[in-house]
Amino acid sequence: MIEIDPDRCVGCGRCTQVCPTGAIRLSNAPDLQARLDRLKGAIENLKFRLDQLQKRM
């Protein structure tokens, strides 16, 4: 069976769109705003790291 990692799922629902038999549905979507905030933080972190790498070159 399918197991969802709640720390990684952002509740986008794409898995429900690609299942060929329609067997997947979102029953309790995660707190989307909290997920978006975490993704924004991760993106900012990546930008910072990229900037640091570029400064070393």
Mask of contacts with ligand SF4, 7-46, x by CB under 6 A?
--xxxxxxx-------------------------------
Task: Give 13 or 41: the residue with its C-beta nearer to ligand SF4.
Answer: 13
Residue whose tokens read 């910072």: 48
Q: Which of 4, 32, 42, 50 binds ligand SF4 (CB under 6 A)?
A: 4
Integer-rounded Cα Rg, in Å, for the chain is 16
Nearest-5° Cα angle at 36, 33 to 38: 110
Tell me the closest approach of the beta carbon of residue 56 to ligand SF4, in angstroms. Answer: 33
